[in-house]
Structure 1
């Protein structure tokens, strides 16, 4: 992954999980990495942490004001929600939409002046298989990821003439601290984990590193002809129908 040598990347949600795994891979490949997150998490020794709350305009603007060069933006920051349309109050809908969807709008808006100066500008959004497959009790979360998928395609069209590529990765359920926290809230965490593993045809959860490799692949300047693409890393969940 030496193709990232000399490039600068910003990764949101970089303190843990998929964001942290991606920040590490980019840094290992030679990139200078800025990790944008509310807390530093595991970023020490990986990249420069910039405190940033993607739900707040002023916070995002201030974060990108600290970056003078940018070639790659990875949008990984997101939160989850559980329940059908009757379960989540309107305030929660507003909160999750604000972070998962409008958060990407904010980071794109404030990064674009920097990306326009790059010869290999790339934005990669972390979407989800929830954008394309009906998943039980994920109405709110799925809605946000459906919006991320549509937003990715719209952005790719809007900026292709400027040489800015925009893609997304659709992970299945990944074995991250976020999912581990959700499992801990279940009445039977072990049974819930087995159910999550079983719904992915490969029979296991996706790893954060697997998703990070896909994000880095799409971000790489070696993929200069890849834009408006959604790449599934979901254990076959979207494309396969396994006989029972």
Structure 2
């Protein structure tokens, strides 16, 4: 089950955190993985890990916010069976303390970046008689979170782009779904806490963990496991759906 033998899989932001966990797992399941990353050293480390385990992987330096760059990279890849739009950035602040430059940066990466990759991948999928798209949304696309104005905007757009693409391309045998994680313990989270709460890191980690009713953050591998199912043939009847993976955050916090 969940075999991805020789499936050409593109993973944006695949060099660290959730993206890296997805890259490693998909390669283990037989996919030919292409990582698109701004952080070239992280991407190369992930590729080396995959190759050392006998998998197939390559990486391209790519800014997903740059449409010309994205199209050039996808033209080199040629065939895309699976696209995972994982690259994204976070932002803390409400409307009043979100500068225009910050808003534009979040939009360009989290929204336009997804649009650019969709625009490049869908024609290749149509030419190949179908494919699978998985977008990384967030619980912020479904519930109100304090001080996440720009981030919530961007993930709400990812959610609705998912629905639109699923509707428009279902007849072309292209499935499109999204995952909405709550907090996931990644190097980004550790760096965020160290930067913003240098004097009480353990306390803040415990506090952020406790916001999930299950009592902890998710592991990147747990997100990767759900991604594997949704991109596999076993999920062939699923499209136009959002999958919260949130330790009960959306339904159990009251």
Q: When the two structures are superposed, what TM-score results if normalisation uses the length of structure 2?
A: 0.92
Equivalent of 1:157 in 154, 162, 167: 167
Equivalent of 1:123 in 126, 133, 137: 133
Cα-to-partner distance string for 1:177-207 (whole Å, 9 max, x where unaligned) = 1111111122332222122111100110111
Out of 149-158 and 1-10, give the one that drifted further.
1-10
Number of residue pairs aligned between Structure 1 and Structure 2: 242
Aligned to 2:60: 50
Higher helix share: 2
Equivalent of 1:182 in 181, 187, 192: 192
Structure 1 residue runs without a partner (length 5+): none
Distance 1:129 1:48 in 2: 31
How far the C-alpha of 1:120 sits from its partner, in A, is 5.0
Aligned to 2:252: 240
How far the C-alpha of 1:241 sits from its partner, in A, is 3.3
Runs of 4 or more consecutive aligned structure 1 residues displaced over 4 Å after TM superposition: none
Q: Is the 8 A contact 2:130 2:172 kept in 1?
A: no
Q: Is the 8 A contact 2:182 2:245 kept in 1?
A: yes
Matches within 5 A, 1:133-172: 133-172=143-182
Matches within 5 A, 1:84-123: 84-123=94-133
How far the C-alpha of 1:119 sits from its partner, in A, is 4.5
Aligned to 1:225: 237
Distance 1:10 1:231 in 2: 20
Distance 2:130 2:187 in 1: 32
Aligned to 2:39: 39
Out of 47-56 and 119-128, give the one that drifted further.
119-128
Q: Is the 8 A contact 1:7 1:30 kept in 2?
A: yes
Distance 2:232 2:110 in 1: 24
Aligned to 1:200: 212
Cα-to-partner distance string for 1:24-71 (whole Å, 9 max, x where unaligned) = 111000000000111230322222011110011121011101112110
How far the C-alpha of 1:102 sits from its partner, in A, is 0.9
Aligned to 2:53: none
How far the C-alpha of 1:114 sits from its partner, in A, is 1.5
Aligned to 1:10: 10
Distance 2:203 2:86 in 1: 28
Q: Is the 8 A contact 2:141 2:155 kept in 1?
A: yes
Superposed CA RMSD in Å reads 1.3
Out of 6-15 and 188-197, give the one that drifted further.
188-197
Q: When the two structures are superposed, what TM-score results if normalisation uses the length of structure 1?
A: 0.95
How far the C-alpha of 1:2 sits from its partner, in A, is 5.2
